[in-house]
Structure 1
Amino acid sequence: MFGDMQGMMAKLKEAQAKIEETKKRLDTVLVNSESGNGAVKMTMTANRTVKSIEISDEVLEDTEVLEDYLILAFNKALEKANSINEFEMAKAAKDGMPNIPGLDMFK
């Protein structure tokens, strides 16, 4: 019905390996963001792990402003990381998927 089932299973295992490789590689892809004209800077991996946060002395006195800047910087970094992660994972999955007629999930 679907042709070579062993071939398809091998292809699926290959796809899983590609996805795992991509996950590891995304740990090394860094995205940067900032808020408050550089008062808060954040670095995050494409796998959404925060690597560093820099806070300038000028905002340390105002907790409310600092919190706002942290939230903005985090959300910007998270948005960038999500975008990269989703693109790379979809690409890895598509490249590794067997060609099953009528099942084109990743156009």
Structure 2
Amino acid sequence: MFDKIMAAQQQAEEIKKRLDTVSVFGEVEGGAIRVTATANKAVTSIEINDDFFKSADKEELEELLLTAINKALAQADQVSASEMQAATKSMLGGLGGMFGS
């Protein structure tokens, strides 16, 4: 049983490392602002189109930036949940023998 728990912990660490390599994006205004993050919710870059930046006011820029970040983080949640769901199915399949299944 201990071996299966250790294997599950190792698999969780592998998933976390894999999620660090998956990029997700949030865009607004047709790509005027683009936020890139990892599936572990670490923002890695923010790109703002020069023309949009010159014409936008501070409040508009802040609001759209928040929207783009939230879109990227929501996508990160979806990717992470999918990975965890797949891993859980795999782990439960492997743990089935522990419960007499």
Greater helix percent: which structure? 2
Select 2:81's aligned residue among 86, 89, 92. 86
Shift of 1:93: 3.2
Q: How does 1:49-60 map to 2 (within 5 A)?
A: 49-57=42-50, 58-60=52-54
Shift of 1:83: 0.8
Partner of 1:41: 34
Distance 1:33 1:14 in 2: 34
Task: Give the one of 25, 48, 60 matched to 1:65.
Answer: 60
Q: Which residue identity lines up with residue 49 of structure 1 in the other structure?
A: A
Task: Return 86-95 or 30-39, whichever deviates more.
Answer: 86-95
Q: How much has 1:36 moved relative to structure 2?
A: 1.5
Post-superposition offset of 1:22: 0.6
Partner of 1:75: 70
Count of matched residue pairs: 95
Structure 2 spans left out of the alignment, 5+ residues: none
- TM-score normalized by structure 1? 0.79
Cα RMSD (Å) of the superposition?
1.7
The letter for the 1-side match of 2:53 is: V
Indicate the percent of aligned positions where both proteins have the same amino acid. 45
Letter in 2 for 1:71: L
Could you tell me which residue of structure 1 aligns to residue 91 of structure 2?
Answer: 96
Q: Displacement, 1:32?
A: 1.4
* Runs of 4+ residues over 4 Å off in structure 1: none
TM-score, scaled to structure 2: 0.84
Amino acid at match of 1:15: A
The letter of the residue matching 2:66 is I
For structure 1, the residue ranges without an aligned partner over 5 or more in a row are: 1-7, 103-107
